[in-house]
Structure 1
Amino acid sequence: MPFSSRRRLLKDATATSHAKLDTMIGSFTSAAAYRAYLLGMARFRLPLEAMIADEALSAPFAVWPGSWRPVSIGNGLRADLVALEMDLNSNGEGWHAAPPKPQTTEDWLGLFYVLEGSALGARVLSKRAAALGFRPDYGGAHLFSQTGNYSSWPAFLNLMEELRDLDDGKLAASAVSTFAFAYTAFESAMNACYADR
């Protein structure tokens, strides 16, 4: 699928943030590193998905045109945490960070751009997880649930082009802000003992 101008704008605006996050996550070539990744992903996604669910009836995305709707991986994440006997405070410290609070269409669209994009990465990460013994029924449910969903990303890209009269600067700022929240969530879980950097 060729890059639209809006997709290109967001890709360029978030390139540095995306690269920093990818570097932090690393390749998780050990079980310990995978567990740190899982903890970071749960700290990133679960608060956002709770907020999305709370706003589902009144936020702008409730009336967006087309077939795209937010995709949740929260159940898979919770199952993975249980399977690996982890919780959000598994590294022995409480972690609290406020997720972004979208208000406008641009805010929501920027946030969803980051969440939808992470599903593309799940296709690569699921192979790494499988190599470490994490499967759909043991520790990898959230990854494998995303690998078979081929329609959500194209539907989201179509939606981005359908929505008109957007402030692209605000849209980009929202995506960068969402990456910043992700970085904080993963940073809290990754450290020198875990990271494959």
Structure 2
Amino acid sequence: MLAFDSPDATRSQRLKAATRDSHGALDARIMAGDIFASRDHFARFLRVQYRFHRDVDALYASTALDALLPDLAERRRLNQVTQDLQDLEQTLPAALSAPLPSDLPLAAALGWLYVAEGSNLGGTVLYKMAAKLGLDADFGARHLAAHPDGAARHWRAFTAALDSVALTAEQEQQVIDAADAAFRSVHGHVEQEFGR
């Protein structure tokens, strides 16, 4: 079996290995918030999702990134998260920071998009749990619903494109740093909602 830190590992495999700690800490913190205890708790989670997807939304409108990544504009989920919040009669949360610009350097943009798209894959597990609250693709949990092609296939198409982008060694590290920053950013949004 190929080690994630092997020179033969793909970029997405190296990203997974390099961000394991920040990703794991984020997942544990979200689940500690007991997001399926009630619709109110789930609404807090939606506010986290809204802030993060608002942060990255401009990247999905980048023509330069769209040329490198499949169906990028169709992958954006800010509108679905917004509708989910509205379903639960929630006001949209105020911005805590400026969103990322659409002209973010390529390596940084790839790192942030890796986290955003990975959350879509993980969202399929959360989607099943949201059903206990009466939430689904038509009400309250749109942004967690799997892509019609299937979440795994949709993720593989993204990672194949991500892995094929030509980058320098310096840019490779910038992708990792940006992905780690993205996980830490979401963690900050979680603390904002669940830390009080």
TM-score range, shorter chain: 0.7 to 0.9
Q: 1:85 to 1:187 in 2, by over 3 A?
A: same
CA RMSD, 1 decimal? 2.3
Q: Could you tell which deviates more after superposition, 101-110 or 15-24?
A: 101-110
For 2:172 and 2:59, how far apart are their aligned partners in 1? 22
1:109, distance to aligned residue in structure 2 (A): 1.1
Pick from 43, 48, 52 the counterpart of residue 44 of structure 1: 52
In the alignment, is the contact (CA less than 8 A) between 2:121 and 2:151 conserved in 1? no
Helix, strand or coil at the partner of 1:98: coil
Poorly superposed stretches of 4+, deviation over 6 Å? none
1:11 maps to amino acid: K
Q: Deviations over 1:4-56 (max 9, x none)?
A: 4322211122111111211121052311321111111111112321x225x52
The answer to whether the aligner puts 1:87 opposite 2:94 as a matched pair is no
Q: Residue in 1 aligned with 2:181? A: 177
Identity rate of aligned residues, in percent?
Answer: 27
Pick from 39, 43, 58 the counterpart of residue 35 of structure 1: 43
In the alignment, structure 2 segments of 5+ residues that lack a partner are none
Q: Residue in 2 aligned with 1:67? A: 70
Helix, strand or coil at the partner of 1:16: helix
For 2:134 and 2:160, how far apart are their aligned partners in 1? 36
In the alignment, is the contact (CA less than 8 A) between 2:121 and 2:152 conserved in 1? no
The answer to whether the aligner puts 1:109 opposite 2:115 as a matched pair is no
TM-score, structure 1 normalization: 0.81
For 1:72 and 1:140, how far apart are their aligned partners in 2? 15
The answer to whether the aligner puts 1:158 opposite 2:166 as a matched pair is no
In the alignment, structure 1 segments of 5+ residues that lack a partner are 193-197
For 2:134 and 2:56, how far apart are their aligned partners in 1? 28
The answer to whether the aligner puts 1:56 opposite 2:62 as a matched pair is yes
TM-score, structure 2 normalization: 0.81
For 2:189 and 2:98, how far apart are their aligned partners in 1? 10
Number of aligned residues: 182
Q: Residue in 1 aligned with 2:129? A: 128
1:144 maps to amino acid: A
